[in-house]
Structure 1
């Protein structure tokens, strides 16, 4: 059954998209569908943008060599290593973000609903930005735990030519030579520092942008065609992706640096991060921002588009919308 539509003064909590056909998935069945939609959205977009991610990582790690912008960096990589080098790390990228997307999107829907149930419909609607922030941060923490080993493998493959032939080879080599904590989770601090603000910004800005777009149109989701709703998702995704890229850029640079090579014996993660931050300075921490804005804005728009479409295809249309109702 749908969550109830609750009207209290200006409060309206309703399914994201109405669906009147047959019985509806609930509980684990419902959230597994949210998770699958999020997993596919993240895996497809991140995997498809692997070439941009390769170039962005090279600019961060070797700024003296790749100093003339994104297009020049693309040409340099292709000229020196061949076009196939642009797909370096595609295996761990696709796999890592499939897992992360499941935790992120499925978790966001779960924690949002949990907080609405705990605080009550009216309080949640009146404090919806706080609900968005807390739900996305909690979901991303667990998503980052799952992503970190695969992100470490991806960066090692991209930054060290010939390190391994692919996902399995890189993953097993890191595990064998460095162990779980030093090898896979040396970048856990920066990945949290990067991903949690990134995800919080991504969902909050998306929700606010979409709410304002519907308000400016003067129509709610259920009054618009699927194509019009796709356009809202894409536009809101572009806006939220650009904002999230800027917020999380310093941590993304540190993550690339930390995972490029082994740390010194006995050196703590915090010491490495402080040292790298001092070494890079403000300008260095924002290396590769241009390509990253392009990449993140594009993939975020794609994620919300794919997520919405797959949810509809799976019949998972019972997510709760906290936005104020559009005046009709």
Structure 2
């Protein structure tokens, strides 16, 4: 945004590039580091959701025991490679898009430099927070869908019968199923992740604003807000996560690609009926809560420091 004549407006952010870069780096670092810690919860969730469609559900504890006894403790970290890539790239992109959207909304009514002297960016409305969180995650989820697909399959099979690594598995999927095969489950991936982040960011910003009025330490405010927001957003988006797992594992049959409606009918058509849509909610809620709350806590602490360091370096 510029003043009349092309110069930058006083009162507007004058380090946008540093802000976007620090947001991307902070998101990547926090996401990549924390993803390793919570990966076992993803493995358990994926196994539970896959087993449920075959009427072989044994609960979170039973699934954990089965994985460890049959495949060893290391199997709990199946899919860690694509998880790290997915979260590092995805969260970096998400935070960068989020910061740009926030800035656009915060300063959209700003006019010339003379009109903005002494003004601060306004707070986002609830709708703007919901929109920014959802759109930022939509972009990131779509861009990283191939890694989500590989992650899900590795969590279920450990990399396939040949014990494939991430790169070889991506190559194999592209060769056998075509490039479009790498984006299998994109629909439910987006309609799980976008509403999750939209609801999360809405709840997170609202809770943080309320808690800040009580003068608690900022890190505690960030973590508490993130925890409550993550639990609520997880419960609201659980059914579509079940559909995503089903589609990406091709559980309707080897090599079979079903549409969203056919997948829904296949998932809820078993003995459990619509209850199957909530399978895996406990490990997913715990994983999402820990991951999201920790990521945002680290991000909120790291991003301002990185931005300041990048500005000084310039």
The interval holding the TM-score normalised by the smaller chain is 0.7 to 0.9
Give the direction of change, closer, same or farther, for the CA distance of 1:293–1:267 in structure 2 (3 Å limit). closer
Q: Report the CA distance between 1:214 and its aligned residue.
A: 1.0
Find the counterpart in structure 2 of residue 60 from structure 1. Answer: 49
Is 1:275 aligned to residue 262 of structure 2? no
Find the counterpart in structure 1 of residue 113 from structure 2. Answer: none
Is 1:90 aligned to residue 80 of structure 2? yes
Question: Superposed, which structure 2 residues align to 1:1-328 within 5 Å?
Answer: 4=11, 26-63=15-52, 64-67=55-58, 69-119=59-109, 125=122, 128-163=125-160, 164-181=163-180, 183-215=181-213, 217=214, 219=215, 228-261=217-250, 269-279=259-269, 281-315=273-307
Unaligned regions of 5+ residues in structure 2, if any?
Answer: 1-7, 111-115, 310-314
Find the counterpart in structure 1 of residue 3 from structure 2. Answer: none
Give the direction of change, closer, same or farther, for the CA distance of 1:3–1:61 in structure 2 (3 Å limit). farther
User: Equivalent residue of 1:85, what SS?
Assistant: helix
Q: Report the CA distance between 1:78 and its aligned residue.
A: 0.3
- Runs of 4+ in structure 1 deviating by more than 4 angstroms, as ranges, are 119-122, 124-127, 262-268
Q: Report the CA distance between 1:2 and its aligned residue.
A: 11
Question: Can you list the C-alpha shifts for 1:195-221, whole angstroms capped at 9, x where unaligned?
Answer: 011000111111011111112x1x4xx
User: What is the distance in 2 between the residues matched to 1:86 and 1:267?
Assistant: 27
User: What is the distance in 2 between the residues matched to 1:126 and 1:26?
Assistant: 19
Tell whether the 8 Å contact from 1:246 to 1:289 is kept in structure 2 after alignment: yes
TM-score, scaled relative to structure 1 = 0.80
User: What is the distance in 1 between the residues matched to 2:193 and 2:165?
Assistant: 24
Tell whether the 8 Å contact from 2:133 to 2:197 is kept in structure 1 after alignment: yes
Deviates more, 1:251-260 or 1:271-280: 271-280
User: Equivalent residue of 2:164, what SS?
Assistant: coil
User: What is the distance in 1 between the residues matched to 2:164 and 2:197?
Assistant: 31
Equivalent pairs counted in the alignment come to 288
Q: Report the CA distance between 1:147 and its aligned residue.
A: 1.6
Question: Can you list the C-alpha shifts for 1:195-254, whole angstroms capped at 9, x where unaligned?
Answer: 011000111111011111112x1x4xxxx7xxx211111111100110111111111111
Give the direction of change, closer, same or farther, for the CA distance of 1:114–1:53 in structure 2 (3 Å limit). same
Q: Report the CA distance between 1:260 and its aligned residue.
A: 0.7
User: What is the distance in 1 between the residues matched to 2:287 and 2:274?
Assistant: 21
Deviates more, 1:191-200 or 1:41-50: 41-50
Give the direction of change, closer, same or farther, for the CA distance of 1:267–1:85 in structure 2 (3 Å limit). closer
TM-score, scaled relative to structure 2 = 0.83
Tell whether the 8 Å contact from 2:105 to 2:124 is kept in structure 1 after alignment: no
Tell whether the 8 Å contact from 1:25 to 1:316 is kept in structure 2 after alignment: no
Tell whether the 8 Å contact from 2:129 to 2:202 is kept in structure 1 after alignment: yes
RMSD of the TM alignment (CA)? 2.8
User: What is the distance in 1 between the residues matched to 2:308 and 2:126?
Assistant: 23
Unaligned regions of 5+ residues in structure 1, if any?
Answer: 6-23, 318-328
Tell whether the 8 Å contact from 2:247 to 2:257 is kept in structure 1 after alignment: no
User: What is the distance in 1 between the residues matched to 2:279 and 2:286?
Assistant: 14
